[in-house]
Structure 1
Amino acid sequence: MENNTVTSFTMTAYAVMENYKHVQFTIFLLLYIMIIFLNVLLIYVIYKHEELRQPMNLFICNLAINEIYGGTALLPATMSLLTSVTHQMSLKGCLTQIYSLHTYACIEFCILAVMGYDRYVAICYPLHYHTIMSVSRVCKLVALAWLYPCLVFLFYFTLTLKLKFCGRFIHKLHCVNFELVKNACSNTSHINILGLITLLFLMAPQVVMVLFSYVRILRVCVNLSKDSQVKALKTCVPHLVSIANYTIGTFCEVIQSRFEMSHTPAEVMIMLSIYFIIIPAVTNPLLYGIGTKAIRVAIFNLFFRKTRRVPR
């Protein structure tokens, strides 16, 4: 990177936020505090209560850790740039944020896919659940959910690290690989093609796993009584909402990054660009904290010092 002529980039999206930057700084700060508090609380409650250390809850903990990772990759830098006069980010800072945000998004989907598999086993093979979802298998699934996206994206990201940059403008609140590559001095069509191939490797296995899990769950539910159907599907609601949030956020990010949206209000563009991190990071701990009875009771007991035992 020593031969690069450009060592910092101007984040042009901050220009439209200049008049209300103190209000927006406060909002982002409150959101960051909320993300840290809600996700740390969820992790703490599950860790503290041995009866909550079930496979699904361990996956929820990893999802919470990833929310903190994504929020930390985005919001502190966003708040710093809001208060900056030039709204510039260094090349190293930009590259770090790109790797962090892209791996956050991929890890999120990997964990959600694994959680879908967990629901499939719990509903389709309830008597063998703890045998199938053994400690060893859970650890392997968690390790795969973190390592696979980090290594696959790193393989592709090395191409970006070798580029020399001549442009110095990124038209977003945060750095993304597609926007950075557009500033390269050389032709980057091969990187864009490899980017699509990498995206296929990063997303296709998870899509297959989620679809497989829910097709099998629906097949089993058809043969159950109505009460059993409601109970089975109720356990899937938080996960389905998380999947929907992830899909909407990813769709918004891809649409506003890849397509011309010059007629869209800048405020809408800003919201679309941060949806994929902010909304899941806030709603997921609420979904699983409130939606899961055992966790909800444990949180209630933590704050109100109740002594009754958390139900299994």
Structure 2
Amino acid sequence: MTTTDTRDQVAFTPAALDRDARFYVAGHRGLVGSAIWRRLEAEGFTDLVGRSSAELDLKDRDAVFAFFKETTPKYVVLAAAKVGGILANSTYPVDFLSDNLRIQVNVLDAALKYGVERLLFLGSSCIYPRLAPQPIHEDTLLTGHLEPTNDAYAIAKIAGILQIQAVRRQYGLPWISAMPTNLYGPGDNFSPKGSHVLPALIRRYDEAAASGAASVTNWGTGTPRREFLHVDDMAEACLHLMEHYDGPEQVNVGTGSDVTIKDIAETIARVVGFTGTTEWDTDKPDGTPQKLLDVSKLAQAGWTAKIGLEEGLRSTVQWYREHANSLRE
């Protein structure tokens, strides 16, 4: 992918969004969507629209088109997706590919038909090659092999980026894409089978601390490096991009720094009060060796992360404990 797409047909100058215009957040009850909703409320948006998966199945094309016809939003953030960690992605690749493709195509096609002016599509940093040069720049997309443990999910997200670019070329609409790094925070999925690495570690260590367990066993070697961004920072970045950035290339959203899985495990153990030992099951996969995003494009657009990792972890652990009886299993 090149940094400049000469076929792009958009002539648009980003500016402040109309706070009274209708704004649809697809996936508004998920980790990212709920944070975006909170941010928009705090910023004074008065006409927010959201539907739970029980109210609107985004895989149902007819239902999605009927929803857009009825609500006709001016702005959309597409944060809805089927997501999960290494275990879920490895076990159910068909679900991750099929569900996400249908969600994306249905929402984007309906948004096009019913005249959505400004749309932000949220992808994932797993779109980049497994062995991409670090930190990962946006133009490394489609330059190498994907990480096998989540390639199906990655392909779906890559298709979303290309659909955004195609809409820009064919219809001249100022739609954009953002690729967040590993996210965490209030509203995360702490399920033992469906969670990503950080919430899985929070649950594991907190339960071990509560039970007085002598040790905790984690997957892999602990050596892979990961970048973590608090979801409230992500939400702020999304609104900032919608108001300050336009272009066909996806924008990386992260902190620009990373830590090892071992380091993050030790920090979580300290935060939750676990004093036992940590073992590593090296027969389990590590996933990508390192995944650190180059966030220079985001910085050029005028935004940098604000919430420190330990500060964010403490607030996330507090949220997890307060909601322990109502978490997804």
TM-score, normalised with respect to structure 2:
0.23
Which of structures 1 and 2 has the larger relative contact order (alpha carbons within 8 angstroms, sep 6+)? 1
| Structure number with larger C-alpha Rg | 1
TM-score, normalised with respect to structure 1:
0.24
Task: Indicate the structure with greater strand content.
Answer: 2
